[in-house]
Amino acid sequence: MEATLGLNILVVDDEPDICESLAGILEDEGYVVSSAGSAEAADAFLRQASVDLVLLDIWLPGEDGVSLLRRWAAAGLQQPVVMMSGHGTVETAVQATKLGAYDFIEKPLSLDKTLLTVGHALEASRLQRENRALRSQAGLVMAPSGQSPAICQFREQLLRVAAVDSWVLLLGEAGTGKEVAARYLHSHSQRAAGPFIDLRAAAIARPNVAIELFGNEREGRITRGRLEVAHSGTLFIDEIADMDLETQARLFSALQERRIIRVGGVTPVAVDVRVIAGSTHDLVQEVQAGRFRQDLYYRLSALPLRVPPLSARSADIPVLIEEFMAFYGQRDGLAPRHFTAETLDVLRHYPWPGNIRELQNLVERLLILAEGPEVSAAEVEGALGLDNRLALAGGPEGEDFGGTLKRARERFERAFLEYHLARNDWNIARTAEVVGLERTHLYRKLKNLGIALKGERRAGEEDEEER
């Protein structure tokens, strides 16, 4: 079972002797125990602190425990609740279970029964959290993959940084895998048993970022923000420079003081979170331009790490392709395809302006629009738009020099012959005369380059329409 050290339990009971007795029993096992004597006091406690489990008595002054449980269930309380009563009935136990209570224990409380129930409830809650995390992360790459010198050095840096609990700043081009790096860092840190929560600041309207971060209190209903949900774990904030200055200031203050105030609330809530921030921007320039707070930048930049672009680790492309094919096979049932050595060579020489994200999108497209079990170099060039670049180039400066000399020659020959075929209305005899080839040689060349003749193209289009 999960270690008990540091887990927080709230006992809600109006009998001080019961609260004191439970506190003594549970604290001896390493739990942190707090108590509340009424539903109102329990609400107030949960507004300002996070707990891992609630022991709730049914008979309370004012609002009873079952009504309180019903209200918590409607508000989306995630923590397990164990009901207690000295006057319970089977009907009451069934009702509490239907409302979401984990279990029901009778007073006078048995020491062994109480500890066993608490342990099982916490274990079940942990497994539910892990299952939710696994479902949300199904197929996700959890570590920077590959054996290139650039990625090996970067993984070593992440492991060194994981050993300390400081804030971290991940810098790099869009699509380089900053979230994967953050997950890897978290999984090797002292907070690995805690949650990993992410916030994509660029994807949230600026007025809503504060609510997403700090939560909200409105009309008695509490919505917990990412900072509170990430308590005891890690919060990854991608594109942190997209936050407005007011939210930046509030974030810096909250993390310095280790407490937050929800939007619309007045009660401070304790939080213990490690922040990993990601950015594609030059934050020094953002600070100089007045768009990013200097104090927040200095705190983040204590441990800055630069994520290498895919162009600096092209040797890792085959490994990444295999991972993406496994992901789409598992998620969508797409069959894997074989990337030839020639195809991989084209991919290694491509500049990858969109980095790993662009490669992943390419693999998905090639699997969905599969033209056979093998991915050819020509198919990849078509998908990347490389086959049109040479034909559209206006001179040496506009030409594409990626790939091998053989591939460059094939691209030129394909573009050259298609150009002259079009100018001569796809007449083979005239085209052969213009380009200086014998007709049989031209036919063979067109076949090798995969260029269909006009009649073959028309027939192919008609067959496609019939399908």
CA distance 136 to 218: 28
Rounded CA-CA distance 42/35 in Å is 8
Q: What is the pLDDT along the chain (467 residues), one digit of tens a residue?
A: 344 446 889 999 999 999 999 999 999 988 999 999 999 999 989 888 878 899 999 989 999 999 999 898 887 777 899 999 877 666 777 788 888 888 888 888 888 889 989 988 888 887 776 666 554 554 456 789 999 999 999 999 999 999 999 899 999 999 999 999 999 999 999 999 888 999 988 777 767 888 889 988 877 677 788 898 888 899 999 999 989 899 999 999 988 898 898 888 888 888 899 999 999 999 999 999 999 999 999 988 888 999 999 999 999 999 999 999 999 998 889 999 999 998 998 899 888 999 999 999 999 999 998 878 999 988 998 888 875 554 444 444 445 555 566 777 777 787 788 878 877 778 888 888 878 888 888 888 888 887 877 555 444 444 444 44
Taking the CA atoms of 223, 226, 228 and 231 in sequence, report the sign of the dihedral they define.
Answer: positive
Which two structure tokens, joined as six digits, stand for 102? 């984990």
Choices 2.40.70.10, 1.10.357.10, 1.10.10.60, 1.10.8.60: CATH for 312-384: 1.10.8.60
Residue type, 314: S
Give the Cβ contact number of residue 114 at 10 Å: 18
Beta-bridge partner residues of 276: 168, 236
3-state secondary structure of 243: coil
| CATH homologous superfamily for the domain 149-308 | P-loop containing nucleotide triphosphate hydrolases (3.40.50.300)
Is 99 within 8 Å of 73 (Cβ atoms)?
yes
Buried b (16+ CB within 10 A) or exposed e, 67-88: ebbbbbeeeebebbbbbbbeeb
Paired tokens of 115: 């500890």
Domains 8-136 and 149-308 share a fold: yes
In contact, 294 and 287? CB cutoff 8 Å = yes
Per the confidence metrics, is the pTM higher than 0.75? no
Domain residue ranges in the chain: 8-136, 149-308, 312-384, 402-467
117 neighbors 82 (Cβ within 8 angstroms): yes
List Cα–Cα distances, 189 to 1, 232, 274, in angstroms. 20, 12, 10
**C-alpha–C-alpha distance, residues 289 and 311, integer Å:** 30
Pick the CATH number of 8-136 from 3.40.50.11890, 3.40.50.2300, 3.40.50.1470, 1.10.10.10: 3.40.50.2300
How would CATH label the architecture of 402-467?
Orthogonal Bundle (1.10)
